[in-house]
Structure 1
Amino acid sequence: MYKISICVISFVFLFFLSVSLFTFSMNFLLNELTYFIEWEVVTLNSSSIVMTFLFDWISLMFMSFVLLISSLVIYYSKEYMAEDYNINRFIMLVLMFIMSMMLLIISPNLISILLGWDGLGLVSYCLVIYFQNVKSYNAGMLTALSNRIGDVALLLAIAWMLNYGGWNFIFYLELMKNDFDMMVIGALVMLAAMTKSAQIPFSSWLPAAMAAPTPVSALVHSSTLVTAGVYLLIRFNCLLENTWLGQFLLLFSGLTMFMAGLGANYEFDLKKIIALSTLSQLGLMMSILSMGFYKLAFFHLLTHALFKALLFMCAGAIIHNMKNSQDIRNMGNLVLQMPLTASCLNLANLALCGMPFLAGFYSKDLILEIVSLSYLNMFSFFLYFFSTGLTVCYSLRLVYYLMTGDFNSSSFMPLNDEGFVMLKGMMGLVIMAIIGGSILSWLIFPVPDMICLPSELKLLTLFVCLLGGISGYLISNVSLMFENKALNYYSMSNFIGTMWFLPIISTLGVINYPLKSGMMILKSFDQGWSEYFGGQMLYNSLKMNSSYNQLFQNNNLKIYLMSFIFWLIILTSLLII
């Protein structure tokens, strides 16, 4: 009974807190309010330790969305994790995760940001290794160690910020944005954000983190861990505008978007496909942010959180019914056996593709039109639009494998839509995935932007989406025929499917040479010449001398007589001399 109550209590509390914060955020947005609150924790010899909190419409709205998704995920977990004996521990970990995110969101100070940042890293490690098997431990170590790079960068930024005499970056950003010291801080913060939001070359941990339970994946990949980097850069956005930092981020985020979209088309693990989809959307947010459009990045961050959480929850319901099988090749014809879950999944997929008037359409279409209007090089322009086509491509491939054809698993596999608690959790997000985009669009952009484009550019987004959809259908059919038959196809799919070998480079690439050099040192020093001339030589000489000594000390009559004769010879020779 207690298991049920902790989920329900957490759900009710977080849901009402989310609604309250959303109401406040609208008030702050419409009246252009910002509250900066300082809390003096302790004062000793005129030195104060002060906690600062920043409440503006961005932080309040983001917190309300995080809490809404968290409340529904916790409610969803009540059924998904029902067989887990340690569900209380799981819920407590999730609540700690949410608290760390809250601290990060409302902090205008690098020290308190680091507390929330490290809290996210630590609790995410605990959640990734939750199932306690070898795969989980490996994924947990990769996640934790990749994020440690960002933590170190943030610590260096804190140290460098001593040049300004305080850590409240909000005071110095606008005034000092062209200063060299602020550029160094901006570069370090950008490195930290790239690790947390899994941009190239730190992308390998994000699909690996799928070892966590599915409700955690829904939370992590929609609104908490991976979005922390984007949110931090939204706060530091003025350092990216018209600087080399922005250009650097634009290149790497564009490549991340392209790589993830391409990799998702060669993946067969349901959760990893959705994880790569998240990576692609993070690349989109980072790239538009690097161009200086922080409101657009924030808008897409919120809409993406809604449909991505729904996508993961639907995937979780399918995996739950498939008795924990995640291979999409074992699925098929789910639309007849799980109609409600399939409808929710299709709706979330359409929102992801940018289907007109769903949540994703308002942000993605606006971003692509702003890109078409901006002064941008051809390579970045290609990455934007090609990656959009790839999004539709892998989404349609997913629908093809899951919804059409015959059911490919065991004949006795019972599939049903009777997980009422999970369905209720999903239904809350379905409503938001339909109306969330338009509501946010009217709130964040009350005055519509005038985007005047030629008809070719205006229709380019639609054309790219249609082309991507057709490609997705063809890939689904053709790849089944050619798979494992041609060596070229296999090697290409191996390269693209493993995210350009990034997971191998991040693990073996980092540890291979230190291990090899360690082995050489071991052979040459510990087991080589130093051992030969040092410990081993001393041991051998002592052993040889002791064996001679042993020989002499044996009670052997011959030796005594021989030694007596030797003494006589020596004495005689001495007397003669």
Structure 2
Amino acid sequence: MMLNLKICYLSFFFLFFLSFFLFFFGLNLMMMEESIFIEWNMFSIQNLSVVMTLLFDWMSLIFLSCVLFISSMVVMYSEEYMSGDKNINRFILLVLMFVFSMGMLIVSPNLISILLGWDGLGLVSYCLVIYYQNTKSFNAGMLTALSNRVGDVAILISIAWMLNFGSWNYIFYMDYMNNYSDMWLISGLIVLAGMTKSAQIPFSAWLPAAMAAPTPVSSLVHSSTLVTAGVYLVIRFSPIVSGSIFWYFLFYISVLTMFMSGLGANYEFDLKKIIALSTLSQLGVMMSVLSLGYPLLSFFHLLTHAMFKALLFLCAGCIIHNIKDWQDIRYLGCVGLMLPLTSSCFNIANLALCGMPFLAGFYSKDLILEMLSMNFLNILIFILYFISTGLTVCYSFRLIFYSMMGDLNMSSFFFFNNNESKMNWPMIFLSFMAIMVGSILSWLIFSKVEMICLPFHLKLLTLFVCLIGAWMGLEINQLKISVMMSALEKKFIFSFMGSMWFMPFLSTQSLINIYLNLGSYYMKSMDHGWSEYIGSQGFNMSLMSLAKKVQEFQNNTIKIYFMTFFLWILMVFIVVLNM
């Protein structure tokens, strides 16, 4: 036990102080407008050099400091949350491997080392999703791993195609690749990889399924590591992808992802899955504003979202921990009185997610919607974007009303305890960041003044949509849910909207019915069929038949030997006569 505590404390202090060091180091590079490029020649064989390259610029260092800060909070939180686990030492080491893989991806300008971090994220995330070792976790882990393998294959093909340049350091070839017509393939593959990792349609089913992991892991995954790796990769490759047909394709897909996840979250009753679907909605926001041509704005929303989403998951984990691992929000209620500190932090995170003025989410989301209003977009996309924003506020307020207000609906007595300081301090730190980080980063990242000129009604449209969404969340909460669901459960349209547009079924049933059945048929007809008959089994049967003939010849009666002897004498006599 002491060894486990020692590893927790060492990990926390190392990650915490390293995050602050990297943040101020990144600020220094931002002020100096410099980047540091490090090449380490690992070994050389004749004219072949294997070089490890690292890129330290303000973007990579600030994002890495954000990842390390959230990781330190998660490690400190996990010490209390996972205290009943006998293998907490292994859990902390898996989290550290996860953070190391993300760091490898962030600071790599080389597709090979990006693949190392990318595959490391996929492998360690599989180990963390199946951590509780039950059937649901195994299925969720397999769905997560197989969905992300599509992006891994896309990066592998990009590595092969980059051989046309003679180097995998893509950072040197940005301008050339943008003007080289044959390089459209790389931009398409990078967009595909980003879509799989960031769970855009049609790869969205694995994100809510990954909630089978422990809650501290969910906090880390959904804020700054696994799901944001795809957004960060596309931000890095944005000079190549911008202006291509894949850019417009990504924009429409991301807007549909926002709309789909916002609808699904309003039909969901699992506390962690509601927050997971809100992550999916915000990933759609990041991808859409990135494909509009604003990578810095997307990166800004990525950082602000990481802080309040990590806080949201930690507060949800504290609530789940107190109600003995129940996650259905219909059994909650009156949590605001039972857990005042947790509820305060939870409400701060929810309001930041909604874009409450002067919280972290406001500075990025309001700016995104205003930049969207200044662009030349068709009316359908414009309406879908603002409806998706209203749905975000709707499910956030629905969650607040279900959990914080009313009477406690648990079926038996539960003891609520808000005195675990090791779980409270991370929430307090992240609450401070969820309030302040938007204002701080807006001054740092957008140092140049840009004018946003909008008419009065468009300027107030964002606030109006948020208020309408909050009112709808209240009205949905006040309806008698059991009566409403029994009346609507037979309707196809409500089933369609509440199940992520049937994507979980398509991602699993189609996998079973098409690929696994096809593989079974191929195995029976080829591996156990013709290849066996023509190959090893056929050769074995021929040898066995020949061996049987020889055995019969050897085990037969003396008549065979006399007949053989006389035939031999006859052949010798014929040969002598011919001589």
Task: Note the 1:90-239 alignment, pairs <5 A.
Answer: 90-239=91-240
After superposition, residues 74-473 of structure 1 pair within 5 angstroms as 74-473=75-474
Please give the alpha-carbon distance, in whole angstroms, between the structure 1 residues aligned to 2:307 and 2:486: 40
Instruction: Classify the secondary structure of the residue corresponding to 1:319.
Output: helix
| In structure 1, distance between residues paired with 2:120 and 2:527 | 41
Quick check: 518-527 or 38-47, which moved more? 518-527
Contact 2:305–2:361 (Cα < 8 Å) also in 1: yes
Q: Is the 8 A contact 2:26 2:57 kept in 1?
A: yes
Deviation per CA, 1:219-245, whole angstroms, max 9, x where unpaired? 000000000000000101113322211
Please say if 1:495 is aligned against 2:496.
Answer: yes
Whether 1:25 aligns to 2:26 is yes
Distance of aligned partners of 1:419 and 1:493 in 2 relative to their CA distance in 1, 3 Å threshold: farther
8 Å contact from structure 1 (residues 289, 297) kept in 2 = yes
The one-letter amino acid of 1:471's match is M
CA distance in 2, matches of 1:517, 1:29: 54
Local SS of the residue matching 1:483: helix
The alpha-carbon deviation at position 253 of structure 1 amounts to 0.5
Cα distance between partner residues in 2 of 1:294 and 1:267: 32
Kept after mapping to 1: 8 A contact 2:184/2:244: no
Unaligned runs of 5+ in 2: 530-536, 538-579
* 1:335-377 deviation line (CA, Å, top 9, x unaligned): 0000110000000000000000000000000000000011222
Contact kept? 1:254, 1:380, Cα under 8 Å: yes
CA distance in 2 between counterparts of 1:269 and 1:149 reads 28
Query: How far apart are the structure 1 equivalents of 2:389 and 2:362?
Result: 12
Judging changes above 3 Å, is the alpha-carbon distance between structure 1 residues 519 and 169 closer, same or farther for their aligned structure 2 residues? closer
Can you list the C-alpha shifts for 1:17-68, whole angstroms capped at 9, x where unaligned? 0000000111111111111111100011021110111110000000000000
What is the alpha-carbon root mean square deviation over aligned residues? 2.1
Q: How many residues align?
A: 533
Alpha-carbon offset, residue 396 of structure 1 = 0.3
Distance 1:518 1:107 in 2: 37
- Cα distance, 1:358–1:169 mapped onto 2, change above 3 Å: same
Q: Give, in angstroms, the shift of residue 498 of structure 1.
A: 1.3
The secondary structure found in structure 2 opposite 1:36 is: strand
- Cα deviation for residue 328 of structure 1 reads 0.3
2:449 aligned counterpart, secondary structure: coil
Map Cα deviations across residues 538-557 of structure 1 (whole Å, 9 max, x no partner): xxxxxxxxxxxxxxxxxxxx
State the 1:425 CA deviation: 1.2
TM-score w.r.t. the length of structure 2 is 0.89
Contact 1:239–1:245 at 8 Å: present in 2 too? no
Instruction: Establish whether residue 10 from structure 1 lines up as the match of residue 11 from structure 2.
Output: yes
SS at match of 2:54: strand
CA contact (8 A) 1:153 1:189 kept: yes
Q: Supply the distance in 2 between the matched residues of 1:97 and 1:479 (Cα, whole angstroms).
A: 43
SS of the residue 2:479 aligns to: helix
Once the two structures are TM-superposed, the CA of residue 487 in structure 1 deviates from its matched residue by 4.5
1:524 Cα deviation from its structure 2 partner: 9.4
Contact residue 483 and residue 490 of structure 1 kept, 8 A: no
Tell me, yes or no, if the aligned pair for 1:296 and 1:367 is still in contact at 8 Å: yes
Q: Which residue of 1 aligns with 2:567?
A: none
Residue 560 of structure 2 aligns with which residue?
Answer: none
Change (3 A) 1:429 1:519: closer
Whether the 8 Å CA contact 1:238–1:292 is kept in 2: the answer is no
The reply to whether residue 475 of structure 1 matches residue 476 of structure 2 is: yes
Tell me the TM-score normalized by structure 1.
0.89
Residue range with higher mean Cα deviation, 293-302 or 41-50:
41-50
Residues 427 and 524 (structure 1), Cα distance of their counterparts in 2 relative to 1, 3 Å cut: closer
Cα offsets for 1:452-505 (capped at 9, x unmatched): 100011001001111111111112222615434324665433222211110110
Deviation of residue 515 (structure 1)? 4.7
AA at the equivalent of 1:140: G
For the 8 Å contact 1:240–1:292, the answer to whether it is kept is no
- Which SS does the other structure have where 2:44 is aligned? strand
The percent identity for this pair of structures is 63
Contact 1:333 1:404 in 2 (8 A): yes
- Cα pair distance change 1:26/1:489, threshold 3 Å: farther
